[in-house]
Structure 1
Amino acid sequence: MAAGAEENAFIRAGRLIDVEKGTVLTDQLIRVEEGRVVSVAPYDAPPSGAKVIDWSGYTVLPGLADMHSHLVGDIQGGIIDPLLTTGAEDVLAGAGNAKTTLCAGFTTVRDVGSWRAFTDVALRDAINKGWVEGPRMAVAGGYFTIPGGGGAITGLAYDAKAPEDMMRGIVRGPEDARQKAREFLQHRVDLLKMIATGAVLTVGTDPGLPELSEAEMRAIVDEAKKYGKNVTAHAHGAEGAKMAVRAGAASIEHGSLLDDEALRMMKSRGVFLVADIYNGDYINEVGAREHWPEETMQKNRDTTDTQREVFRKAVQMGVKIAYGTDSGVYPHGDNAKQMPYMVRYGMSPMQAIQSATLHSAELLDWEKDTGAISAGRYADMIAVEGDPLEDISILSDVKGVIKGGREIHCE
């Protein structure tokens, strides 16, 4: 993970949301040294000459985290769009998306795969080296999928072939899955992503049907464990999700068609749900306007409402939930638009904020570094006007962003 910028400063917070205790503190002074929080205490005048960032008129909370993002490349469009740009162009587009995401208040993202293998690794490394401004990134490198599956380029003519770097994660059997998992891990990814079921946006696949076999998923998870890495599973359908949970996945992405048994399994094993319950509305509106394939639009209609009801039930059952939006399907920078949906479908505003802070840090195994404004963690925080516990939608209008103790300049 990227080291915090070596910045020393004091931040005065008018109101401070303590996500660890679930409370709000008033008039606090946050001391930062070498990019990390040293102390949080009631305001007392800092030493003369010290750098002070005055956020006394704002509500301050930890930098937010999106656990399902796709920063590299342009936003989702037509079937052949991924074939119209080079890997270099995709990374350069990703640099712009990274800055936009950071300025929207998301100081951490888990990037769960790019079409061209390892372009997300290049973007992560550029951010860590200070070449590009962006959030702290955990990256998957690509997708593990079956031939013609939810993570493949589909819909092409039968004699057309996708570029090799778009097929690095296509697996044919458990041993092939193990070997390709090892290859990804050797390319320094932070996690692995499996496509356990079909996808809404991949033509020719059924979101409810399993794709990877359980044996293939176990091989991928087993290899990841050797490297100390977690695995996530794209899974709309219940059976594919259960297979992924039994195989050892740390989280289930989407979860649109999960049944009670799948949710009980997830709860009992501490598996996170990362459900993108906002972007169904975006797809319905923009896809219709831009004439996306009717198959895609029908699958979106078939899964949007069911996904939201699964989310509501998961909240009621106490399943662990981390914040994830599928950014890249909708325009980057709109990540916080999902917050009101999470409240509408069962969470309190504090729970929604905790899902994008504490619980996301737990999913990443980054609890010592991110997820709260407390001593020892990176000084990643944002400022908003008003009270997000009264009106969660104000998180879409961030007034200030600090990453590693350094104020980010956003236009």
Structure 2
Amino acid sequence: MQAKVISLAVLCGLIATAPQAATVIHAGTLIDGTDSAPRQNVTIRIDGDRITAVENGLQRVRDGETFIDLSQSTVMPGFIDSHTHLSSQLAQGSYMHRFTDNPATTAVRAASFARLTLHAGFTTVRELGDSDHVSVALRNGIRQGHIEGPRIFAAGKSLATTGGHADPTNNVRESFIHSPPTPADGVINGPLEARQAVRKRYQDGADLIKLTATGGVLSMASSGDNPQFMMDELESIVATAKDYNMRVAVHAHGRDGMLRAVQAGVDSIEHGTYMDDEVIAAMIEHGTYYVPTITAGKSVAERAEIDGFFPDMVRPKAREIGPLIQQTFATAYQAGVKIAFGTDAGVFDHGENYREFVYMVEAGMPAHEAIRSATYNAADLLGQLDNLGTIESGKLADIVAVDGDPLADIAILADVHFVMRDGQVFKTRD
């Protein structure tokens, strides 16, 4: 009996089917997501959706095994984007979508963005804020094989205080608001409502909690950085989330809101623009991850120069806050804050997530560490190191490949030519 050799082109036709029982990949160079140096000529064996062995040398393909030849490529774990919004994409006029688009329209658009994200090499994402339960439905559709996309850890609707960054009624005429938003809508005031909101996210099927601890750039509110939660509210959210085994991600630009959130015990700070030495020290003490989203900052700063792109209330915030995030990242990295890769995709175009790698390296992070931030570190933030983040025996078979050496030129991660998720091939070379 002969080993089954299937070309990459033919494998495209297997996308809608279950993964082969046994698959062998020959990797020319392997960057495995650990802190080890790259290895040359490595064999990866896969059974179903799991890696069963990682062997030195290009080992013999056994009878009945499917062979994938990546011996001329650099192979890495599937990337993890720790901050995405698949249900939206910022564009001229998109501020009107919440008034014009029904949930079905949003879901169809989200499915297309999910496919773009997977084909860009991102096999897992944290979905940090949506509407109409789209991200939970999208997650389930991908799990069930109805939709092509990354593995999703969904937060559902973000939590805000009245008038806060994620209050959906900001700047909406009162006659259009049938009743004030409630914890079920993601708007809370006080620790009791905070508990109710977390429990509602759990009931809705969310995997984690996202809250907006400070003002934000794109919301229709005047401040982009003021603190918007009191300590008792933050502590109530964190304590309740832990009861349900849910982690807490926190949008924060301003220093005071960030410090309160870190002291309350949240798991990650997103954006972190006005992080100072006291916040950095607190994050290191508490082991809090930083998810920088440099790409979003640069993108909104660029678009702020386009007349009419942003509402007048948003434009000055985008000009001021957006350009600062890359320097904050550089300072936090040099200080030793734990960093997980995250882009805020949706604020810029989906499928361009790779840009974050370029900006991180540009700001002083070595390329190998940048890749680890999107593999090992991001899996650690998710609490999924037993399953994700490295190419090792026992892990889920999430594997991507590129031509060339990303440690020499990180920008080649823009052109991922092979994507496997859960042992199933979703993209091969054209």
Cα offset for 1:282? 1.9
Residue 150 (1) aligns with residue 165 (2)? yes
Letter of the 2:349 counterpart: P
Structure 2: gaps spanning 5 or more residues: 1-16
In the other structure, the counterpart of 2:368 is: 350
In the other structure, the counterpart of 1:376 is: 394
Residues 23-75 of structure 1: CA distance to partner in whole angstroms, max 9, x if unpaired?
11111110000111001112111113420111111110111010000011343
In the other structure, the counterpart of 1:123 is: 138
In the other structure, the counterpart of 1:407 is: 425
In the other structure, the counterpart of 1:160 is: 176
**What is the distance in 1 between the residues matched to 2:153 and 2:53?**
27
**What is the distance in 1 between the residues matched to 2:309 and 2:26?**
49
> 253-262 or 67-76, which moves further after superposition?
67-76
**What is the distance in 2 between the residues matched to 1:312 and 1:321?**
11
Secondary structure of the equivalent of 1:310? helix
In the other structure, the counterpart of 1:220 is: 237
In the other structure, the counterpart of 1:241 is: 258
In the other structure, the counterpart of 1:133 is: 148
Letter of the 1:22 counterpart: S
Residues 250-289 of structure 1: CA distance to partner in whole angstroms, max 9, x if unpaired?
0001101111100110011100000111222322333433
In the other structure, the counterpart of 1:96 is: 112
> 76-85 or 97-106, which moves further after superposition?
76-85
Residues 304-328 of structure 1: CA distance to partner in whole angstroms, max 9, x if unpaired?
3332221111111110000000001
Residues 119-149 of structure 1: CA distance to partner in whole angstroms, max 9, x if unpaired?
2111101111111111111000111101121
Using structure 2 for the length normalisation, give the TM-score.
0.91
In the other structure, the counterpart of 1:330 is: 348
CA RMSD of the aligned region, Å? 1.9
Letter of the 1:130 counterpart: G
In the other structure, the counterpart of 2:38 is: 24
**What is the distance in 2 between the residues matched to 1:166 and 1:98?**
28
Aligned pairs for 1:267-282 (under 5 A) are 267-282=284-299
CA contact (8 A) 2:267 2:289 kept: yes
CA contact (8 A) 1:73 1:89 kept: no
Aligned pairs for 1:182-331 (under 5 A) are 182-289=199-306, 290-331=308-349
**What is the distance in 1 between the residues matched to 2:141 and 2:204?**
15
CA contact (8 A) 1:284 1:301 kept: yes
In the other structure, the counterpart of 2:9 is: none
**What is the distance in 2 between the residues matched to 1:225 and 1:28?**
40
Residue 359 (1) aligns with residue 377 (2)? yes
Secondary structure of the equivalent of 1:137? strand
**What is the distance in 1 between the residues matched to 2:90 and 2:323?**
23
Secondary structure of the equivalent of 1:159? helix
Structure 1's 115 and 136: CA in aligned 2 closer, same or farther, altered over 3 A? same
Cα offset for 1:161? 2.1
Aligned pairs for 1:45-84 (under 5 A) are 45-75=60-90, 77-84=93-100
Residues 203-235 of structure 1: CA distance to partner in whole angstroms, max 9, x if unpaired?
214122100211111111111111111111111
Aligned pairs for 1:29-44 (under 5 A) are 29-41=43-55, 42-44=57-59
Cα offset for 1:165? 9.6
Structure 1's 162 and 231: CA in aligned 2 closer, same or farther, altered over 3 A? farther
Q: Percent of counterpart pairs with the same letter?
A: 37
CA contact (8 A) 2:301 2:323 kept: no
In the other structure, the counterpart of 2:23 is: 9
CA contact (8 A) 1:145 1:170 kept: yes
In the other structure, the counterpart of 2:410 is: 392
**What is the distance in 2 between the residues matched to 1:358 and 1:205?**
38
CA contact (8 A) 1:401 1:407 kept: yes
Letter of the 1:172 counterpart: N
CA contact (8 A) 1:255 1:275 kept: yes
Cα offset for 1:90? 1.2
Letter of the 1:341 counterpart: Y
Letter of the 1:279 counterpart: A
Residue 111 (1) aligns with residue 127 (2)? yes
Secondary structure of the equivalent of 1:389? coil
**What is the distance in 2 between the residues matched to 1:148 and 1:384?**
45
Structure 1's 98 and 78: CA in aligned 2 closer, same or farther, altered over 3 A? closer
Secondary structure of the equivalent of 2:175? coil
Letter of the 2:190 counterpart: G
Cα offset for 1:297? 2.4
CA contact (8 A) 2:50 2:394 kept: yes
**What is the distance in 2 between the residues matched to 1:212 and 1:86?**
30
CA contact (8 A) 1:275 1:325 kept: yes
**What is the distance in 2 between the residues matched to 1:21 and 1:162?**
54
CA contact (8 A) 1:5 1:403 kept: no
Number of aligned residue pairs: 407
Cα offset for 1:162? 7.8
Secondary structure of the equivalent of 1:288? coil
